[in-house]
Amino acid sequence: MRVVFYSQGEDMQQWQAALARHMPDIRLEAWEAAPAGADYAIAWKPPALLFQQQPDLKAMFALGAGVDALIAHCPATLPLIRLEDSGMATQMADYATRMILDWFYRDADYRQQQKQAKWLPYALDDKQQWPIGILGLGQLGSVVAQRCQSLGFPVHGWRNSPEAIPGMTTHWGGAGLQEMLPHCKVLINLLPLTPQTSNLINRDVLDRLPKGAFLINMARGAQVVDEDLLAALDRGQLAGAALDVFRQEPLPATHPFWSHPAIRVTPHVAGITPLHDAAEQIANKLQAFDAGKPVSGLVDRERGY
């Protein structure tokens, strides 16, 4: 079995060692130097040239849960298999709740007061007045929802298809989204990027949130209209935003997000792929696929995830 590897900035030898724990005979080859005839590819955001040089691939294994950056180059007939959670959901739940609790307990205000040697306690809000709305209730969104519930916040969830989830107010479809938004003190985006979700978080969506709401985006930058978000913050419709993903990454140094006082910018770290957990999952999927067995995480090209 020949496997080519590509992930800019990643140490292929570390992946080789991690995968070898589960597949002792596996050998990774750097795609640039690998001759044609490889059986599989393990990659993240590979160039189109990889698929041109390796026309005999049986499947492509993605080093992430989101595959929008892969679909454009990956041949439509080639099975594309994504990671499923692999520890990222817990990290994303941590990220979301860090931001929510920071806003809820007004930590930024207290940090600013410390700089001014100012003593001013604030009254404590009621968590029941801070409903959390989650866009996307898949493997990642459901874990984030459960974490928010465990902290005592009411949770609303939105998905495309009707499916009730115990303990949560669920909404679905276009009408359900419009119904949910006015209830959300914090809106968390965990949707996959598809033609339907591109530019979804625009002025119309932001204006339907209660005044003074907050936004957390851990999905894809292209789902938020930057200009609409900045305008909503500047006129007080939104009180703050935590952004981990952007239309262009790295975020250009001149982008206004960096300097806006109500925006927290992080460099796409809300859900980092854990090497050993991801390697075990990929190895299991690769062995199952090679043996002709069913494999979870197979991307549906029509849905885009």
Q: From the centroid of its chain, how far is CA 250?
A: 16
In a domain, 183, yes or no: yes
Least confident of 47-61, 164-178, 260-274: 164-178
Smallest Cα–Cα separation from 64: which of 81, 41, 47, 40?
Answer: 81
Mean pLDDT, residues 13-23 taken together: 96
Q: pLDDT digit string (tens) for 222-240?
A: 999 999 999 999 999 999 9
Confidence (pLDDT) at 178: 97
Please report the pLDDT score of residue 225 as a whole number.
Answer: 98
Mean pLDDT of 163-191: 94
Secondary structure (DSSP) of 101-127: HHHHTTHHHHHHHHHTT---PPPPPPG
CATH number at residue 228: 3.40.50.720
Q: Does 92 share its domain with 195?
A: yes
30 and 80 both lie in a single domain: yes
Contact (Cβ atoms closer than 8 angstroms) between residue 224 and residue 189: yes
- Residue-number span of the structural domain to which 132 is assigned: 88-265
Give yes or no: residues 111 and 33 share one domain.
Answer: no
Residue 268 among the catalytic residues: yes
Catalytic residue among 2, 147, 208, 220: 220
Catalytic residue (one of 255, 260, 268, 301): 268
Residues 222 and 126 reside in one and the same domain: yes
Q: How many distinct structural domains can be found in the chain? A: 2
For residue 280, give both structure tokens.
Answer: 């075990």
Judge contact between 214 and 186, C-beta under 8 A. yes
Average model confidence (pLDDT) across the chain: 95
| 3-state secondary structure (DSSP) of residue 280 | helix
Averaged over 259-286, what is the pLDDT? 95
For residues 130 and 254, state if they share a domain.
yes
Q: Are residues 78 and 167 in the same domain?
A: no
264 is catalytic: no
Mean pLDDT of 265-290: 95
